[in-house]
Amino acid sequence: MTEDQTVEETPLTEEDQKAAESIAQAAAIANRLIANDPRYIKLVASMLASRQLYAMCLYELERLCEDTNFRKATKQEDEPDLELPKKLPWEQLGMLKEILINSAAVQSQQPFDENALFQGMAETVFPWMQSVVALHTDLQAAQRTKEFRDREDGRVARKVAFGVKMFELPKERDCFLVARDRPIMFVGHSPVVRWLIDHISEHALEEGNGVDQIIRLNSGGKPKFNHDRIAWLHRDDWAGITADNSAFQERYKNVISHQLHDPADLLIVDDLLHSRPTPHSMVVTTQVNEAQKKFKRWAESAGCLLVGCVQLSREIRDNDLNTPDFETLRIYNTLRVVYANKVTMSGEFYYQVFVGRSEVAYVPAAEFEEYTAKKIITP
């Protein structure tokens, strides 16, 4: 049929018109009776309940057929084992269900005594319903729990990527994938670390990177990248939070959880030092290590990857990597230094950002320098 062609509607005959009007009037009467007359309300409610009871019986029939050992169930006393399998073939099982259902249908059409019906409902059906409803409730709850656990296990097993090459592996894609069981720690000059955090936040939420929800503890300033899948905690709300073992969980329950659409896949702590109480006698590396450990315990229970960052007031130096303090950080974390080299391309200034030995991006100087912080803690 072309766009120019139309379907001509056949006009209703006078008889059809009268029938339609009669049906509409009957429907209006029915609606008013159900809305206003308690007798009809109870009648329809009872009809509805009988239909729902029938549906419950079909559900129980399905369950019984799945649970029955037909070889034992059909054996009579002093009778040798029948040549029946424990489970019937699919086609034969369907026949059995139809026979049982049709048998009940035939019996229901026979004359019956309403008093006997009521007595049977009270003495047999209602107690049976009570036990079956309890059983179905438990089975359905167990099924929901299993389905949730399976989904959660699958989610936690899913690796995360965020646009940074973390490893040197034969397959290029595998170089970007990070398992959730070992936290990551980025250390570097504050501007480049802050740029990297926004880069991670943006790329992690791309399709196929294993992240549906991010929790980010913001260290201050307006982030360049924002998204409704990022749950934020303002700088003032997590200052010194790792001084207490339960403080972050409380903040999660009272503030963060209300922002979440799904379970968290990635927890980003912009500045681990900010989570420590100050002043503190510990050296900086010990402080960030202790903070990372506490966030790690929470991240493990939540099934998310932890990315903790250390923002320095200076550029990272080559000799920093060989100190015992850095080696301590490597024991519990996938540790990567973050730095940037200023370069010129086509007469324009850029910052070439590196994570470890891997180049991440060339960032225009004007964009990069927006991340310069006014107040930075020096280790």
pLDDT at 293: 93
Edge-to-edge strand ranges of the sheet holding 334-345: 230-233, 214-217, 266-269, 305-312, 184-189, 334-345, 348-355, 358-364
Domains of the chain, residue spans: 17-74+84-105+119-154, 173-369
Neighbour tally for 347: CB within 10 Å: 5
Which distant-in-sequence residues (6+ apart) come within 8 Å of 221 by Cβ? Answer: 194, 373
Neighbour tally for 265: CB within 10 Å: 24
Per-residue pLDDT of the chain (379 residues; tens, 9 = 90+): 555 555 566 777 888 888 888 999 999 999 999 899 999 999 999 999 999 999 999 999 999 998 888 877 777 666 665 567 788 888 989 999 999 999 999 988 889 899 999 999 999 999 999 999 999 999 999 999 999 999 999 999 999 999 999 999 989 999 999 999 999 999 999 999 999 999 999 999 999 999 999 999 998 766 777 888 999 999 999 999 998 889 999 999 999 999 999 999 999 999 999 998 876 667 888 889 999 999 999 999 999 999 999 999 888 877 777 778 788 888 889 999 999 999 998 889 999 999 999 999 999 999 898 887 544 443 3
What is this structure's pTM? 0.73
One-letter amino acid for residue 317 of the chain: R
Q: What is the CATH number of domain 173-369?
A: 3.40.50
pLDDT at 375: 43
pLDDT at 71: 79
Long-range contacts of 372-375 (CB under 8 A, 24+ apart): 372/190, 372/191, 373/190, 373/191, 373/194, 373/220, 373/221, 373/311
pLDDT at 3: 53
